[in-house]
Amino acid sequence: MLEINGTWTKVTYKNETGYVMSAFLQYLEDGAATAPTTKPTAKPTTKPTATPKPSADKYARVTTASGSLNLRKKASSSAAIIRTIPRNTVIEVLSKGSKWSKVIYKDDTGYVMSSFLTFMDAPEAAPPAEDNNTSSGTQQMAQVTTQKGSLNLRKRASSSATILTTIPQYAYVQVISKDGSWVKVTYGGYTGYVKKEFLTYVSGSVAPSVPSSPSDEGETPWARVTTEKGSLNLRAKASSGAKIMDTIPRHAIIPVIEKGSVWTKVTYDGQTGYVKNSFLTFLKSHPNGGTSSGGTATVKPNDMRDDTLITLAELKTAQVLPAGASAKLYKGCSTSADEMATILRGEYIVVSAQGEDWCRVEYEGMTGYLPTEILGL
């Protein structure tokens, strides 16, 4: 050490002379050990970095009126459909636009229409898990209580799994097990998975059935089908899991054989089966003076159906290829039905039921009908 000057000290080390900071030196008395202990350097305190607040509208829930939402490759109605996102699904939003938003769903990134989303700054908490076991020794039942439309029965507990069949609103299913947001059920000979949020569990072990004796409301030889929309299933037995023999158009008038509290035995188009009372309006006589041979009221264009329409076990994606530049999406199987939307030539839609003349399709959250001949199936 040659010289001490406040903050700095002049020293010699290995025949080199220079300056070091005095704060990092320990001064020794004469004769002390030549290897002083270095004063440990205090570690600087690092100021914690504030965690940035998450940006608003980082998540969104699919809020289509009914059906799924198309996830497209580009922000265009004519872009290829990557997959469909089920209604009520919460997805991550990468960027929000006035018309289109970029999102992630099941590891796929694409674009959806912002008008079918409800944005939120954080994902909603998942509902608590339920006991996985059903009542021992009994068959627990549940009723499909979608806001509107049918419920998809899937092969696996995943929104991207194959759809085995669709279960009508208010139908009953047998519960096998519960696992978080999915429930394993049996319906119409199929065993698969449905979303728990669309079920209401029934107290008791079995679904309601037709009573052995008719009701005391008097004779009601006729009934009108008054579903909210679409046709009514005619089943082989008084059970929501029974085979569907036919579908009866909305507003059709059918002869009643026996009326029960939940199910009614009727005749339609030469077939005898059962329908749910909740979708019937009972009449004392046929409005047009008809007899027990049957007869139907005039079906409105919006309620017309294709007799060959068959619900597909797996959804199909098809390209719309009309002769002109665009095609109309109709509310019913008739060009006289109300128009729901205009679909440009080359756009893709999802087909849920197919017939010789018409197909039931999903397009931008809407369910409607297109002529089969203009679809690239």
- The band of 217, judged by pLDDT with boundaries at 50, 70 and 90, is very low
Answer whether 89's CB lies under 8 Å from 81's CB.
no
Answer whether 57's CB lies under 8 Å from 117's CB.
no
Any idea which fold 310-374 has?
SH3 type barrels. (2.30.30)
Section 9-28 average pLDDT: 80
49-53, 105-109, 126-130 — most confident range: 105-109
> Does 222-299 match 59-120 at the fold level?
yes
Q: What pLDDT score does 201 carry?
A: 74
User: What CATH number does the domain located at 222-299 have?
Assistant: 2.30.30.40
Per-residue pLDDT tens digits for 47-58? 555 444 444 578
Phi, psi of 196 (to 5 degrees): -60, -30
Output the six-digit token pair for 246. 């036919």
- Does 102 score more than 90 pLDDT? yes
CA distances from 283 to 147, 154, 201, 222, 297 (A): 28, 39, 33, 5, 13
Cross-strand bridge partners of residue 235:
244, 274
Q: What pLDDT score does 95 carry?
A: 92
3-state secondary structure of 277: helix
Q: What pLDDT score does 295 carry?
A: 40
Cross-strand bridge partners of residue 181:
none
**53-67, 168-182, 359-373 — which is least confidently predicted?**
53-67
User: What CATH number does the domain located at 59-120 have?
Assistant: 2.30.30.40
| CA–CA gap between residue 344 and residue 316 (Å, rounded) | 19
Q: Which residue has the higher pLDDT, 11 or 54?
A: 11
Is the pTM higher than 0.85? no
Output the six-digit token pair for 207. 């679904």
| CA–CA gap between residue 284 and residue 287 (Å, rounded) | 9
Domain ranges of the chain: 1-31, 59-120, 141-201, 222-299, 310-374
User: What CATH number does the domain located at 141-201 have?
Assistant: 2.30.30.40
Q: What pLDDT score does 189 carry?
A: 66
